[in-house]
Amino acid sequence: MSTLVRDTGTVFHRALRTSLRNPAWLVISLLQPVLYIVLFGPLLEPIAGQLGGANAYQVFVPGILVQLGLFGTAFVGFSLIAEYRAGVIESQRVSPAPRAALLLGRVLRDVLVLAVQGVVLVLVAVPFGLDASVGGVALTIVLVAVLGGSLAAVSYALALTLKSEDAFAPLLNVVLFPVLLLSGILLPMTLAPGWLQTVSDLVPFKHVVDGARALFAGDFGAPDVGWGVLFTVLFAGLGAWYGTSQFRKESG
């Protein structure tokens, strides 16, 4: 265990230094959600009552946070493909470091970056009228960070499997675009016709979004919160298992 913690820390510090040397992509990944808050959020204010929240941003911002978690971590595998071609993965996998450490160190970097971006996003929304439970906001950021960590692990595993941007990018787009539309990230699915609500109920991320909105409203005991936490924990477990097994398989 001590070896795992030490080597995870080593990989984490290396990954973090790499990100800090090139912060442009961190800013770019945050720019799209901020633009949604600034340019799309005001359009929802006249229909705040129909959205089901005290104000439009109380409904809109949780969805954007989940979107940040989805798109901010699902594409981290591109960096691993670049490292694979540069021989970094080859040098790491012949080291005595546990295979889990090679994955967890990178995932922890992604979780930290996502948490910081989430805080910045909430602070940007406050001047526009966001009125939410402070505890609910904090718990939502933790929830999104855990969800993002699981997606980062899956992204690294897929990148290590495909080893090609030409295959990796279309796969992500095919999966993420329907998730974006069916999870109620931009607008609650309660506004959709019945058949579309039924389809969206089959998408686990929809329940995470609903749980985040309940937390922002301060409704900590809502069933949506329980379902959102449950699916997030399941994603975290599956992501850790799949990512670690793929790193071990590659090393073998």
pLDDT at 82: 84
- Which tokens in the block code for residue 195? 């058949």
pLDDT at 1: 66
Segments in the chain below pLDDT 50? none
pLDDT at 101: 81
The crossing angle, in degrees rounded to 10, of helices 56-74 and 204-216 is 140
At 80-90, the pLDDT tens digits run 888 888 777 77
pLDDT at 27: 77
pLDDT at 57: 87
pLDDT at 224: 92
* Dist. CA 144–CA 140, nearest whole Å: 6
3-state secondary structure of 53: coil
